[in-house]
């Protein structure tokens, strides 16, 4: 007798892309009213429609930007190229950027829109943590600040965009006609985080992006200051410290910092 687990595995294999496999189709009892292939096609197509719906939910502005026909075509190709390995439908769209880069290289803005939308969703779904208060940092003696190491909320994402993704996203979000596509000569870093159950975002200068990356990867306040001092020859140690403190105050005000450690 055929093992139930084996039967389920064969059915799953059929659904995720091996439609032409005869192994599973031979397990199905034929029906005079509806043939085996047609009956199985109902499940095969229903699975894909559900995945396409999940991708459209994850990438609503990408879908609006590309249009229904192109988005649906790309989504079907995506399902074949990146069969889901997750039990949770939430994560099925995680490879969309990579797929867009080679499936429609003539539309590079699509990959950037996918990166931005996915990052927004990651920020929204991240673990909820308590924010550090200003008075907590104010209690640290000045002589200990060089050893200060910060811990940030898990919602934080940093994306680098070259196209005018943000104005386009905002227009589509407001059901307005998006502006013409524009590509900048340089990339701009965008900071994404969550505050009060809402994803927030703003642009960052390169110095702040470097400082934040260092701080998030465990650099001390002193190390961040030294890095800022080295970014521009005319930046003095005192100026670098002031800049780093201003960045930190902004991160704290936005609720991005959750705790700190004083390294020995």
Same-domain pairing of 171 and 256: yes
Same-domain pairing of 83 and 175: no
Same-domain pairing of 258 and 147: yes
Q: Is residue 112 part of a domain?
A: no
Q: Is residue 147 part of a domain?
A: yes
Same-domain pairing of 253 and 150: yes
pLDDT exceeds cutoff 70 at 106: yes
Q: Is residue 137 part of a domain?
A: yes
CATH, residue 196? 3.90.930.50
Task: Tell me the mean pLDDT in the region 154-181.
Answer: 97
Same-domain pairing of 78 and 148: no
Task: Tell me the mean pLDDT in the region 106-117.
Answer: 96
Q: Is residue 74 part of a domain?
A: yes
Question: pLDDT grade, residue 2 (50/70/90)?
Answer: low
Same-domain pairing of 167 and 71: no
Name, of 12-21, 159-168, 222-231, the range with top average pLDDT: 159-168
Q: Is residue 123 part of a domain?
A: no
Task: Tell me the mean pLDDT in the region 225-252.
Answer: 89
**pLDDT for the residue numbered 22:** 60
Q: Which residues of 193-202 are buried (b: 16+ CB within 10 A; e: fewer)?
A: bbeeeebbbe
Same-domain pairing of 101 and 67: yes
pLDDT exceeds cutoff 80 at 14: no
**pLDDT for the residue numbered 19:** 53
* 50-75 residue pLDDT tens: 999 999 999 999 999 999 999 999 99
Q: Is residue 114 part of a domain?
A: no
Same-domain pairing of 135 and 211: yes
Question: pLDDT grade, residue 34 (50/70/90)?
Answer: confident
**pLDDT for the residue numbered 97:** 97
Same-domain pairing of 99 and 184: no
**pLDDT for the residue numbered 86:** 78
* Residue range(s) defining the domain that contains residue 101: 1-106
- Percent of the chain scoring above 70 in pLDDT: 95
Domain count, the chain: 2
Same-domain pairing of 144 and 86: no
**pLDDT for the residue numbered 169:** 98
Q: Is residue 38 part of a domain?
A: yes
**pLDDT for the residue numbered 4:** 77
Question: pLDDT grade, residue 83 (50/70/90)?
Answer: confident
pLDDT exceeds cutoff 60 at 250: yes
Instruction: Give this prediction's pTM.
Output: 0.87
pLDDT exceeds cutoff 70 at 1: no
- Average pLDDT, whole number, for the chain? 90
Q: Is residue 101 part of a domain?
A: yes
Same-domain pairing of 178 and 85: no
Same-domain pairing of 91 and 142: no
């Amino acid at each position: 007798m055929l093992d139930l687990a084996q039967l389920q595995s064969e059915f799953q294999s059929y659904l995720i892309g091996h439609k032409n496999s005869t192994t599973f189709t031979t397990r199905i009892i034929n029906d005079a009213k509806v043939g085996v292939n047609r009956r199985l096609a109902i499940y095969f197509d229903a699975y894909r429609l559900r995945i396409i719906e999940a991708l459209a939910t994850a990438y609503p502005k990408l879908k609006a930007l590309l249009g229904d026909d192109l988005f649906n075509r790309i989504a079907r190709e995506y399902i074949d190229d990146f069969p889901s390995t997750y039990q949770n439908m939430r994560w099925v769209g995680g490879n969309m950027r990579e797929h867009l880069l080679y499936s429609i290289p003539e539309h590079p803005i699509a990959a950037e829109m996918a990166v931005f939308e996915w990052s927004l969703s990651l920020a929204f779904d991240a673990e909820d943590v308590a924010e550090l208060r200003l008075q907590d940092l104010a209690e640290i003696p000045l002589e200990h600040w060089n050893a200060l190491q910060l811990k940030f909320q898990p919602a934080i994402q940093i994306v680098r965009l070259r196209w005018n993704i943000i104005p386009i996203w905002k227009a589509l979000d407001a059901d307005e006609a998006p502006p013409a596509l524009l590509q900048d000569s340089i990339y701009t870093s965008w900071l994404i985080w969550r505050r009060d159950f809402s994803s927030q975002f703003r642009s960052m200068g390169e110095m702040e992006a470097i400082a934040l990356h260092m701080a998030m990867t465990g650099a001390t306040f002193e190390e961040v200051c030294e890095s800022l001092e080295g970014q521009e020859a005319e930046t003095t140690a005192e100026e670098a410290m002031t800049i780093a403190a201003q960045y930190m105050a902004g991160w704290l005000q936005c609720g991005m910092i959750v705790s700190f450690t004083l390294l020995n």
